[in-house]
Amino acid sequence: MEVLMLWLFPWIFQCVSVRADSIIHIGAIFEGNAAKDDEVFKQAVSDLNLNDDILQSEKITYSIKLIEANNPFHAVQEGECL
């Protein structure tokens, strides 16, 4: 299933930015048993928010959806809702 998640990667994340001093919201979908991936994602967002060289006036927020394993259609459906 990890291969499926990597294949769906371009559809998993959505970014919306408006202008300077804005909030960038991204979403991620992980299988329910991917707790480590969930933690890595949260840490990456936290690191980005703390690095003023990358984001001067923007902040990133996120949504995480957990889905059942071995159901690729569930990932696509959830991706539309993030």
Asked if residue 19 has pLDDT above 80, the reply is no
Q: Above 80 in pLDDT, residue 13?
A: no
DSSP 7-76: HTHHHH---B--STT-EEEEEEEEETT-HHHHHHHHHHHHHHHH-TTT-SS-EEEEEEEEE-TT-HHHHH
Residue 14 in this model has a pLDDT that exceeds 80: no
Please state the rounded mean pLDDT for residues 66-75.
Answer: 80
**Mean pLDDT computed over 17-43:** 81
Q: What pLDDT was estimated at residue 10?
A: 43
Residue 64 pLDDT > 50, yes or no?
A: yes
